[in-house]
Amino acid sequence: MTMQQQPPTRTHVESASAATSPGLRAIALYLPQYHPIPENDAWWGKGFTEWTNVSRACPLLPGQYQPHLPADLGFCDLRVPETRAAQADLAREHGIHGFCYYHYWFNGRRLLERPFHEVLASGQPDFPFCLCWANENWTRTWDGLERNVLVEQVYSEADDRAHMRWLCENAFSDPRYIRVNGRPLFVVYRSLRIPDLRRTLDTWRDEARRCGVGEVYLCRFESFPDEHVDPAVHGFDASIEFQPDWANIGVPLRKGRAWQSLTRLGLSSPVYQHSRIWEYAEVMERMLAKPDPGYKRFPAVTPMWDNTARRKTDLSCLLGSTPELYERWLEGAAARFRPYSAGENLLFLNAWNEWGEGNHLEPCQKWGRAYLEATARVLRRYPPAAADHAPAPAGRAGMASPSAAGVVGAGAGR
């Protein structure tokens, strides 16, 4: 969508979807932080992976589900091809269309790249994927802010071109890459961190044409309050909800002077005062009641959220998630969404394997496959009419090996 076009109203959306397919392609966000790498060894201790935090988490509130411990796949290592194949099989069996891998690029240096590099190089698993650039600083506080920076994001036009060339020559050329009406889908996690955003997007589009890829479908997550604006203003094709939607989540539980007094008297846990706690059911209802934004935005749902494993204090948690409540949220989000066109039929699931944020569809010891089974029950009612893939350009499908620059790994704030 160009800046000259009017944003689509819900009337436009409904008429468009009536002429196409009501089916949905569900894409699950995928964190590659489950293998040791030299950077994490140096920053966090020898052998650190996401499991390090997950395994030592403890409940801080009555009824809080901690620790989140894996079931079917165990404490998996993403360097193992059989693990990646088992993940794809589980996702496919339960109606998930593909994975959106977090992609860490710092001026040509790629971190946590090994799992995706091997997916490209091996051609396996044969499961659709796309990339989301996790363009935050790499920090010790897992928040991407300017303090305690381990690896900094530095932006430039030269790097924009180098980045897009790498994407075109490696990821976009793969026939498994998820496309929207023939255009490879690329997502930015924190778009407003980019200092000259319009220039970056224009540069990417120009470089993609130079590389022979043609038009790229550019999306950004609405992760934080200042990002809830029409994506066309900056040159994006669409936005994607990020769940939990912190801008619309409401007031946390047990805040205010009365609760502070009760806390001092020992009648309420102090965790509520230095953290942000919500009821999952109330958040679900708020999300389903949000008005249509008046521009292209793909919906998202989270099965649960609790980042105690990463934060210990000053945490964020949605208490009381169950597979039944998640299924209601997913069904509500799917039912109210009307695809903008045959290929603009995406729904995002946050996440496949964010165990450190208590946010995963992968089976756990408490719930087993119940969240995946809930996902399947909903998605089977919205099957996509056909996969929206375009084959890689002739002579390009084998170009899977990344450039030598930055073939390293790490752990991140996302």
For the stretch 283-326, pLDDT in tens is 999 999 999 999 999 999 999 999 999 987 889 999 999 999 99
Domain membership of residue 397 (yes or no) is no
End-to-end CA distance of the chain: 28
Nearest to 300 by CA among 289, 287, 291, 318: 287
Torsion 405-408-412-414 (CA) sign: positive
Report pTM: 0.88
Total number of domains in the chain: 1
Domain membership of residue 404 (yes or no) is no
Domain membership of residue 4 (yes or no) is no
- Interhelix angle 323-336/370-379, rounded to 10 degrees, is 20
pLDDT at 343: 94
Domain membership of residue 8 (yes or no) is no
d(CA 338, CA 13): 6
pLDDT at 266: 84
Please determine, for residue 5, whether its predicted confidence score (pLDDT) is greater than 90: no
Contact, 245 vs 222, CB < 8 A? yes
Q: Is 242 helix (H, G, I), strand (E, B) or coil?
A: coil
d(CA 200, CA 315): 34
For the stretch 351-369, pLDDT in tens is 999 999 999 999 999 999 9
Contacts of 200 (CB under 8 A, 6+ apart): 155, 157, 160, 194
Tokens of 195: 């200092």
Could you tell me the CA-to-CA distances from 352 to 30, 37, 407 in Å, in that order?
5, 21, 25
Residues present in the chain in total: 414
d(CA 190, CA 288): 24
337 φψ region: left (φ > 0), alpha (ψ -120 to 50), beta (else): beta
Domain CATH code at residue 129:
3.20.20.80
Domain membership of residue 102 (yes or no) is yes
Domain membership of residue 401 (yes or no) is no
ω into 391 cis (within 30 of 0):
no
Report the 10 Å Cβ neighbour count for 199.
14
pLDDT at 265: 85
Report the 10 Å Cβ neighbour count for 9.
12
Domain membership of residue 228 (yes or no) is yes
Domain membership of residue 262 (yes or no) is no
For the stretch 46-70, pLDDT in tens is 999 999 999 999 999 998 999 999 9
d(CA 229, CA 394): 38
For the stretch 358-400, pLDDT in tens is 999 999 999 999 999 999 999 999 998 765 444 444 433 333 2
Range of the domain at 306: 23-249+279-379
Q: What is the residue-wise DSSP string for 336-392?
A: H---SSSS--EEEES-SEEGGGTEE-S-BTTTBTHHHHHHHHHHTTS--SS----PP
